[in-house]
Amino acid sequence: MPHSLLARCLAILCAAVLCAAPAHALRIKEVAAVEGVRSNALTGFGLVVGLDGTGDQTTQMPYTSQGMANYLQQLGISLPAGSAMQLKNVAAVLVTAQLPAFARPGQAIDVSVSSVGNAKSLKGGTLIATPLKGADGEVYALAQGNLVIAGAGAAAGGSKVQVNHLSAGRIPGGAQVERIVETPLQQGEAVTLGLQSSDFQTARRVAQAINTRFGDGVAQALDGRTVRVTAPTTPNERVSFLAELEELPIDATKPSAKVVINSRTGSIALNQAVTLGPVAIAHGNLSISISSTPTVSQPNPMSGGQTTVTEKTNIQIRSEPGMLIELPPSAQLSDVVRAINSLGATPQDLLAILQAIKAAGALQAELEVI
């Protein structure tokens, strides 16, 4: 081969190598999180006022009247004994929010408001001051504000038109944090990383990446979901250490083969690790139809009998023939999809077919029904 042609080929080969797609890599922050650094659920019972006659029917929802009476009593207004309030512009609601990690007093968080009575709509309402409590019963935030309802509705003359839900809404920045939740981030000589999914290979690669960057023995994989990392003890150094740790890249692992089936909607999802062995399938639909025809039984003249109406029921069972189809072994997801599509079955039929293939040992994947 001439020298110039050889040099040209080598140049093309080097360019192809340099342009090749890099291996798929993830950052540690995308597969793991520091244990203890999480949000906390808050909830509270409140009242929405200012509705245009679409509130709770207080005769059927006594806790709405009771809640309003308690609120008025806190304002120094006492109702006469035995008085029954007929409130049309008030609705009882449950208020929920997520208190983020490291939230400080004065920080605003979003809240969700949902009706618990028979209010027709919360549109245009205002949530009055509602304390939000945690699992320990302590108040961590105070919610109040105007609701944002992403819906509309109208009714007249027995007809009704509605778009989206009118009994639930949100208040952006509608709650103010009143108390902090201590996190164990600065406690102890080590922090614990919790993986999002249990996988020994991922845990090993996370520990290796940390040890490669910060030195041997810094990280230890305790099990398939937990990695213990020795970290600096001063707050500033620990935060800087974790910030750099979360950006370390690791190679993505191939997940375990799994087929997820939604039995309610007929949805089927397969990941890239699913493989198919050689198998033969015959599938035929079975349909049953039942029809009834009314018949009149007329008595003979002067017999004293009565005319009666009876029903004649006809039941038919039809089984469509199923041709035996051989599916070749498939080692890639595209081949598995092509083989399954060749059956020409509906998604609902595929639920039973995949279960049968799994039972026959030809589907190398875990079936998960949600």
CA distance 342 to 325: 9
Is the pLDDT at 334 greater than 80? The verdict is no
Each residue of 276-288: pLDDT tens digit?
Answer: 888 787 766 555 5
Kindly report which listed range (150-164, 189-203, 228-242) carries the lowest average pLDDT score.
Answer: 150-164
Residues paired with 230 in a beta bridge:
190
Q: Regarding predicted confidence, which is higher, 350 or 8? A: 350
- pLDDT band at residue 212 under the 50/70/90 scheme: very high
CA distance 240 to 37: 16
- pLDDT band at residue 23 under the 50/70/90 scheme: very low
143 by DSSP, 3-state: which?
A: strand
CA distance 312 to 41: 60
Instruction: Give φ, ψ of 296 to 5 degrees.
Output: -105, 130
Pairing of strands 286-297, 308-319: antiparallel
Instruction: Give φ, ψ of 352 to 5 degrees.
Output: -70, -35
Is the pLDDT at 225 greater than 60? The verdict is yes
187 by DSSP, 3-state: which?
A: coil
Q: Regarding predicted confidence, which is higher, 321 or 60? A: 60
Residue 143 near residue 127 (C-beta atoms within 8 A): yes
- pLDDT band at residue 12 under the 50/70/90 scheme: very low
pLDDT at 324: 62
Placement of tokens 């080590």 in the chain:
190
